[in-house]
Structure 1
Amino acid sequence: MIQSRIHNEGIGQPSQPRPLHLTQGQVFQGRIAKLYPQNMAALQVHGTTVTARLEAALTAGQRYWFEVQESAGIPRLRVLDDNAIRQREGLGDQPSIQKLIQQLSLPASKETEAFVRHLSEQQQPFTRQTVVSGSQLLTELQQFNQRGFQTLIEMMQRQLPLTKETFQAYQSLTLSPSLTQQLQQLSQMLEQSTHPATGQLRQLTAALVHPDQQAKPSPIVQLLAQFATEGEGDVSRGAGQLLARLGIIEAGASRSQLASQFQTAVLHPANREIVASLWPDLRSGQGAELSRLEPRQFLETMLGRLSIPAGKEGEPALQQLLQLLQSKEPAAAIHSRWLTLPQQELSASERAAFLQVLESGSPFAQEKGGAAKHLQHVLQLLGYQHERDVSRLLQGELTRETIVTDRVKAQLLQLQQQDLPAGLKEQVNQTLQRLTGQQLLAQEQNGPYQQLILQLPLTLGAWQTDMTVQWEGKKQQNGELNPDYCRILFYLTLEQLEETIVDVQIQNRIVAVTVYNEHESPDALINVLVPTLKKGLAEHNYQLLSVKWRKMKDAQASSQQANHLYKPHVHYQGVDVRI
C-alpha cells in the first residue's frame, strides 16, 4: 500500500544527512577517513565529514568508538578503544562491542549486545541511559527483535521520548491498518455500543467516514439542465452541441422543441412506470399541476428533481430518461461517448459546458471554500492540534466544550478512562495510538529546512481512502513555509487510477505539477483541464509551468533531484572536534 511505502521507503523524504549535534555523554562510532599534518584528520560520523585535531594515536581507514566529554565550543571526544588499547587487549583492528559494553558499565547480555550492535550498524549516536531505557522498553513490550530495534532508532533520530506510549504510537503507523480503516472499525463498534459515553464520538466518527455527500450526478442530466436554462450563453449553447455529439438530440434542435417533446412523454399514460421510477417522490395529483407549466419550465423543474448517479450505476435510470427523450441510443454507448469527448476537437462553448460539468461533479463543489476548507475541517475534527488547543484553553482562548466535544482525540482520551467492553477498549486505544503516531511524524525541522506530513481520511463519493499531504520548504521568520519556494506532495489511492502521487514544486511562484501513476496518461483530459488550472493559480498570483504524467518508479529519482532546492548546505571551516 502506498501509505506504508511513505513510512518505510520514505518516498518524497529528504535525503540529506541529519546535522551532527553532539551532546555530552554521547557515544558513537566514526571512521578516520584521512590523516593530515599537524595531527589533523578527517572524521566521518553519521554520514557527515568533520575536521578533527587528534590527541590520540589513531589509524586512517579504521573505525573507533568515541565518547563526547565536552560539547560546548569545540567538542572534545575521548577514544574508547584507541590503538594502544587494542594492542594491549589483543582486540584487533575492529572496535569491540563487548569491550564497549564493559567500559560503559552496561548489563552484559545478548540483548544489550544486539541492541548496541544495531545502533553501530545504523551509525546512531547514543548514551548509556539510552541503551538502558531502550532495553527496558523492548523487554517490557517483548520486542527485542529487528522491528523493535528499528523503531527505537527512528525514535532516537526524531528525538522522541523513549516511553511505552510513544513507542506504541510510533509503531502503530506501520503495524496497524490505515487511519481510515481504524476510524471505520471504530465507527462500526460505536454504532453497536449502548455505553452512554460513546454518543459524541459516534457522531464525530460518522461525520468522518460517512460524510453527507451525495453520489456524483450523471453528466448527461447536467448537460440537459444546462441546455434547458434560459439564455443563449456559451455554456447553454455548448451543452446543446455536446448533446447532439452524444446522440441524445438532433443537431440544431431547439430548446423549446426538446421541452415540448419531453413534457408530452412524461405526461403520457404509457410512461407512468418510467416516471414513477425516475421521480419516486412525485405525489399523486402533482401531474395535473405540472401539466399546467410551460414546456421549458416543466423541463427545468423535472430535471431539477431528477437524481441519476454517474457511471454504470446510473445506466438503467439513464436508459429510461433517454426513452422519454425519444433517443434510440443505449445508455452504455452514451456513457462511452462522454468519456471520449476530451479526445475530440471541441468548440469554445462545448469546452465551457464540459468543464462546468466536471467542476460541478467534484465532491467538494458544493462546500463553501472547496477542498481546502473541507481538509481544514477534517484536521479540526481529528484533533491533530489537541495539545495546542489545550494550551489555548488554559489561556482562555477556547472553551472546554469546544476541544472536548468537537475533537476525536479528546473523545478517545476520555473513553480510555471508561469501563468499556474489551473489543471497543482495544479499538479506542489503537485509534488513539494511530492519531498520536501521526502527530509525532507531523513536523520535522533540519536547520532552515522544514517538513510537515499529515494523513487524512478522504471520501470521494462512495470511495473512501487515506490522503497523505507532505509540505517541504524553508521556514520564514513568522514560522510559516515560504510559499514562493516550496514543495507539496499528495499521496493517495484512487478508485480508478489506484496508487497516485501528485508532486507540486514551486520556485519563485512558478508551479510545476507531476502526477505519478502506473496508468497511461489521459492527455486529452489534461489538455482540457490545464486552462482552468492556470486560471485558478493566476488568481493566487502563481504561474503554471507544466503538468507532466510519469510512471510511479520515477518518483524516487525525482524526489532526490528536487531536494537540493530546499536542503541546507553545511560548510565546515577550522576544527570541528578535538579527539
Structure 2
Amino acid sequence: MHHLSIQSSQGIKQAQQPQEERNFRPGEVVTGKITKFFPDNKALLQIGAKQVIAELQASLTAGGTYWFEVKEGGERPLLQVLPQTAGKQADVSQLIELAGMKPNKMNTSLVEGLMKQQTAFTMPQLKQALNLLQQKELQPVEVRKQALQLMLQRQLPLTESVLQAITARQTQDMTASLRELTNTVPVGSDKATPLQQMLGKLAPAGPAVHEQQLVKQIIQEAQAGKQDMYQAIRPSLPAAVPSFTVWQREWLAYDKQMDVGRSVPQQLIQESGSSSNRTTGILPFSQALDSFISEMQLVGKQSPAAQESLQTTLSTVRQLLSMFPDRSLPHEIITGLRTALEPFQSAPMAQDIYSQLAKGNVDNQQLQAKSTELLQLLQVTQTNEQSKDGDFFKNLLQDIVRQTGFSYEHDLNDADATDLPLKGLLLQHAAQGSERAELSSQLLQQITGSQLLQVQDDKQMAYIQLQLSGAPFGFDKDILMELEGRKEADGQLSSDHCRILFYLHLPFLDDMVVDMYVQKKAVSLHIYTEEGKAEQVMRPLQQKLKSALDTSGYHLSSVKYTVSNNAKEASYVDTSLHAVHTEQKGVDYRI
C-alpha cells in the first residue's frame, strides 16, 4: 500500500483553520483530497476542515480523493492509502466494501452520517458497527443507526449490550418504565419490599412532598398546643387513634432527639447522602404520615385551578351544613360538589365522598365530617407546595440522582447492602429470576444508557446530560437536562459560565424547553413552547424568579419566549456558549 508522511501546513489562512488542532489517532480512517502540488514531492491535502502539507511517497493524482488510514499519530502523522478501484474517486461504497460488507442503503446511510458529522473511526470499529446494524431483532434500523453513530462519537464499546442500553435510553421513558414496574412488583414480598419502597420514591403517585417542612409544621403546632395538623392527619392514624396529648408528647420527644442530631457536623450529614428527616431518628406515627403523604401526592397532582375549585365548593358545603344541619343540600350544590370531586377520583378520601354522593345515602353529619377532612388535606397540600424553595428542588434532584444509582459502580465498595439504589435493587431483582424480570432488565438498560451518555468533557469544557424520572416533580414524562460548562483550573465546573437546557413535558403546558445561560452571575432564559399560553402563565412569575435569583447572588438579565410547532427542535440552535451570548440581541423582556 502507498504511504504519505504529512505535517501541518504553513501559510494557510487562519480563517481556514479549525479552532482546535485536529489530532489524528493511529488506525483512524480519513478521506482526503489532493488540491495542489508543491516542489520536493509535497502536496496540499484537504482532510475534513483541515488542510495539511503531505510529503508524497506514492504517485497520486491532483484533484483526486482517497481513503487513508492513520498509521502513526503525533505532529507528523503517517497516512496509508487504502486500496481503491483504479480510475474511481474514493466514495462510501468503496469503504463499506473494504469493511467486508455490501454497500446497501442501510450501510451507506450509516457511513454517510459518520462522514457528515466528522466522526472519527477505525476500520475495525466500522466493521463492528456495520455488523451491529444488521441485527434487526434489536431495534428499528433508524434507531440502531443513530445509536451507533452516537457510540462512535463517544468512543463507546461497540457491543450488543451497549447498543441495547443506548437505544433504551433514546427510545424509552424512564418514568413510564418505573410506573409499569411499580404495578408488577408484588406488595408484601420480603425481597421486593426495598425495591417497592425505592419505586415509591422515584415514581410516586404525585409530586414529591416537602417532608421536612411538613414535619417542621407538625412540631411547631405541637409546641404551640395547636391541633390543626393533628386533625388533618387523624384520618390516616390507626383504628386506635391516639389522643392529641399522646400525639403532642411523641412529636416533642422526637424534636428533642433531632436537637442531638443537629449537633452533628454538617459535613457528616452531607456525607450520609440524604436530606431526609428519617436519617437522624425514627419519625413518630411514620406509617400514618406515609399514608397522609400519599393522599397529599394524589390531590397535589391535580392543577391548582382544580384544587381551588374543590376547596371553594367544600367550604360552601360546610357552611350550608352548619347553617342548616337538618336540611338536604340543594341539588345544584350536590351536582357542583360531584363535578369538583371528579378530577380527584384517585385520592381515597375524595373518592369516598364521591361514591357516597352517587349512591345518595350520605347524611349531613357524615358529609360535613368528610368534607372537613378533605378540606384540611387540600389546605395542608397547598401550604406544603408553597414552601418548596430552591433548596428543596436542589435536594430533590440530588436524591433522585443518588436513588437511581447513576454512580452505583463507583460507590460499590462503600455501598450499604441495606440501602442500595434502584440499579442495585434491579440487579438483585433480575438475578432472582423474579416474575416480570424483563421489566427490571429494561429499566436497567435505560439507567446504564444514561450513565454511558452522562458526561463528555475536554480540556476546557464539560458536557453533562441527565435523564431523570419526572414523577417526583409532578410530571408524567422524564426530565432531560443538558449542562454545558467551563472548567476551572482545578477541573471543577465554573458556576459563573454555564448553560443548562431543561426538556420538559408539563401536564398543562405540554412540551417546553428552558434554555438557561449563565455568564458572570447574569442569568438569561430562552423558553421554547408549542403554545402561546405558556407566556401568559409564566410572565407573572418573573418577578418572583428575579427575587429568588437575587437572594442566591445571581441576576436575571433577560427572558425570551419563542413559540414553535416543535419546541424541542426549535431549541437546537448553536449550543456553544458564544452562540447563546450573541443570541441575546433580540429579547422581549429585559431587566
Residue of 111, 123, 130 corresponding to 2:125: 130
Contact 2:512-2:567 at 8 Å conserved across structures? no
- What amino acid sits opposite 2:195 in the alignment? L
Q: Measured at CA, do residues 556 and 22 of structure 1 come closer, stay the same or move farther in structure 2, by a change above 3 Å?
A: same
Instruction: Report the alpha carbon displacement of residue 122 of structure 1 after superposing the two structures with TM.
Output: 2.5
Residue of 405, 429, 434 corresponding to 1:420: 434
Q: Measured at CA, do residues 556 and 463 of structure 1 come closer, stay the same or move farther in structure 2, by a change above 3 Å?
A: closer
Residue of 382, 391, 402 corresponding to 1:369: 391
Contact 1:486-1:566 at 8 Å conserved across structures? no
Instruction: Report the alpha carbon displacement of residue 152 of structure 1 after superposing the two structures with TM.
Output: 2.1
Residue of 560, 578, 588 corresponding to 1:565: 578
Contact 1:25-1:127 at 8 Å conserved across structures? yes
- What amino acid sits opposite 2:77 in the alignment? P
Contact 2:483-2:499 at 8 Å conserved across structures? yes
Matched residue, 1:70? 72
Q: Measured at CA, do residues 317 and 496 of structure 1 come closer, stay the same or move farther in structure 2, by a change above 3 Å?
A: same
Q: Measured at CA, do residues 324 and 150 of structure 1 come closer, stay the same or move farther in structure 2, by a change above 3 Å?
A: closer
State yes or no: 1:401 paired with 2:417: yes
Structure with higher RCO (Cα < 8 A, 6+ apart):
1
Residue of 403, 406, 409 corresponding to 1:384: 406
SS at match of 2:468: strand
SS at match of 2:453: helix
- What amino acid sits opposite 1:315 in the alignment? S
SS at match of 1:191: coil
Within 1, Cα distance between the matches of 2:543 and 2:113? Answer: 52
Contact 2:509-2:534 at 8 Å conserved across structures? no
State yes or no: 1:190 paired with 2:185: yes
With the length of structure 1 as denominator, give the TM-score of the two structures.
0.63
Instruction: Report the alpha carbon displacement of residue 125 of structure 1 after superposing the two structures with TM.
Output: 3.9
- What amino acid sits opposite 1:203 in the alignment? Q
Within 1, Cα distance between the matches of 2:513 and 2:109? Answer: 37
Q: String of CA shifts for 1:355-388, please: whole Å, max 9, x gaps.
A: xx9x966748358931111111111110011122
Within 1, Cα distance between the matches of 2:473 and 2:170? Answer: 27
Matched residue, 1:165? 161
- What amino acid sits opposite 1:371 in the alignment? F
Within 1, Cα distance between the matches of 2:432 and 2:235? Answer: 46
Contact 1:379-1:456 at 8 Å conserved across structures? yes
Within 1, Cα distance between the matches of 2:317 and 2:190? Answer: 53
Within 1, Cα distance between the matches of 2:454 and 2:539? Answer: 35
Instruction: Report the alpha carbon displacement of residue 22 of structure 1 after superposing the two structures with TM.
Output: 2.1
1:455-466 matches, within 5 Å, as 455-459=467-471, 463-466=475-478
Q: Measured at CA, do residues 445 and 183 of structure 1 come closer, stay the same or move farther in structure 2, by a change above 3 Å?
A: same
Within 2, Cα distance between the matches of 1:98 and 1:562? Answer: 34
Matched residue, 2:175? 180
Within 1, Cα distance between the matches of 2:180 and 2:209? Answer: 23
Matched residue, 1:263? none
SS at match of 2:68: strand
SS at match of 1:537: helix
State yes or no: 1:43 paired with 2:46: yes
Q: String of CA shifts for 1:152-173, please: whole Å, max 9, x gaps.
A: 2321111001122211101112
Contact 2:29-2:121 at 8 Å conserved across structures? yes
Matched residue, 1:225? none
Q: String of CA shifts for 1:218-259, please: whole Å, max 9, x gaps.
A: xxxxxxxxxxxxxxxxxxxxxxxxxxxxxxxxxxxxxxxxxx
Within 2, Cα distance between the matches of 1:363 and 1:152? Answer: 43
Matched residue, 1:119? 111
Within 1, Cα distance between the matches of 2:424 and 2:522? Answer: 40
Instruction: Report the alpha carbon displacement of residue 523 of structure 1 after superposing the two structures with TM.
Output: 5.5
Instruction: Report the alpha carbon displacement of residue 189 of structure 1 after superposing the two structures with TM.
Output: 1.0
Instruction: Report the alpha carbon displacement of residue 79 of structure 1 after superposing the two structures with TM.
Output: 2.0
Percent identity of paired positions between Structure 1 and Structure 2: 24
SS at match of 1:23: coil
* Deviates most, 557-566 or 500-509: 557-566
Matched residue, 1:208? 202
Instruction: Report the alpha carbon displacement of residue 558 of structure 1 after superposing the two structures with TM.
Output: 6.0
Q: Measured at CA, do residues 187 and 116 of structure 1 come closer, stay the same or move farther in structure 2, by a change above 3 Å?
A: same
Q: String of CA shifts for 1:304-343, please: whole Å, max 9, x gaps.
A: xx999743366355224136568999989xx9xxxxxxxx
With the length of structure 2 as denominator, give the TM-score of the two structures.
0.61
Q: Measured at CA, do residues 206 and 72 of structure 1 come closer, stay the same or move farther in structure 2, by a change above 3 Å?
A: same
- What amino acid sits opposite 1:374 in the alignment? L
- What amino acid sits opposite 1:122 in the alignment? L
Contact 1:40-1:54 at 8 Å conserved across structures? yes
Instruction: Report the alpha carbon displacement of residue 511 of structure 1 after superposing the two structures with TM.
Output: 0.8
Within 2, Cα distance between the matches of 1:368 and 1:561? Answer: 29
* Deviates most, 69-78 or 457-466: 457-466
State yes or no: 1:514 paired with 2:526: yes
1:79-94 matches, within 5 Å, as 79-81=81-83, 89=86, 91-94=87-90
- What amino acid sits opposite 2:516 in the alignment? V
State yes or no: 1:319 paired with 2:319: no
Within 1, Cα distance between the matches of 2:549 and 2:390? Answer: 18
Within 2, Cα distance between the matches of 1:324 and 1:147? Answer: 57
Instruction: Report the alpha carbon displacement of residue 540 of structure 1 after superposing the two structures with TM.
Output: 2.1
Within 1, Cα distance between the matches of 2:194 and 2:487? Answer: 38
Matched residue, 1:52? 53
Q: String of CA shifts for 1:76-99, please: whole Å, max 9, x gaps.
A: 112225xxx75xx3x433447458
State yes or no: 1:491 paired with 2:503: yes
Q: Mind listing any 5+ residue stretches in structure 1 that lack a counterpart?
A: 1-15, 217-275, 283-288, 290-305, 336-356, 568-579
Q: String of CA shifts for 1:260-299, please: whole Å, max 9, x gaps.
A: xxxxxxxxxxxxxxxx99x9899xxxxxx9xxxxxxxxxx
Within 2, Cα distance between the matches of 1:100 and 1:433? Answer: 30
- What amino acid sits opposite 1:68 in the alignment? V
SS at match of 1:387: coil
Contact 1:467-1:491 at 8 Å conserved across structures? yes
Matched residue, 1:238? none
Q: String of CA shifts for 1:421-442, please: whole Å, max 9, x gaps.
A: 3xx1111110000000111111
Q: Measured at CA, do residues 18 and 197 of structure 1 come closer, stay the same or move farther in structure 2, by a change above 3 Å?
A: farther
Within 2, Cα distance between the matches of 1:506 and 1:92? Answer: 51
